[in-house]
Amino acid sequence: ANQNESTVKTLKLGMFLPTIISLVLRALFRRSSLPPSKGSLAIYIVTFFPAFFLSNYLVKIGTTRRDPTTGTLISYGEDLHQPGVTEWCFDILYVTWACQIGSGVFGEWFWWLYMVIPLYAVFK
């Protein structure tokens, strides 16, 4: 239960922290790319929605449920460290976050790293 709670906190931070880091790094290293171009905003939005969906899904299945009056544990939630689909969801989130931060430092070409996801799916 404690492991899931820690992971859920990380997921919640991951929904906004990479964006903030990307903007700060963009301001520090690539000031000329502010404000972001329409293309980079489009890429960000297209990749944000799957990440948002997966993050909310993982938070929902991983959150422990307690009785509202007594605080007694009702359910531990699903194990967020299990292999399979849950692991793939995290992989997609991590690649998305890495691309967001990397594009802030290195440029829009860093989004090509996102192609790792379908290539890995074909390989598996």
Q: Which of 75, 67, 77 is nearest to 7 (CA)?
A: 77
pLDDT, one tens digit per residue, over 7-39 is 999 999 998 999 899 889 888 888 777 787 788
Give the model's pLDDT for residue 18.
92
Structure tokens at 96: 């998305």
Buried b (16+ CB within 10 A) or exposed e, 89-109: bbebbebbbebbbbbbeeebe
pLDDT at 1 over 70: no
Banded pLDDT at 3 (limits 50, 70, 90): confident
Give the model's pLDDT for residue 51.
93
Do 94 and 39 contact (CB within 8 A), yes or no? no
DSSP 84: S
Give the model's pLDDT for residue 12.
92
Do 14 and 89 contact (CB within 8 A), yes or no? no
pLDDT, one tens digit per residue, over 64-119 is 888 888 878 888 888 888 898 999 999 999 999 999 999 888 988 999 999 998 88
Identify residue 89 by its one-letter amino acid code.
Answer: C
At a CB cut-off of 8 Å and minimum separation 6, what does 88 contact?
A: none
Query: Is-above-0.85 flag for pTM?
Result: no
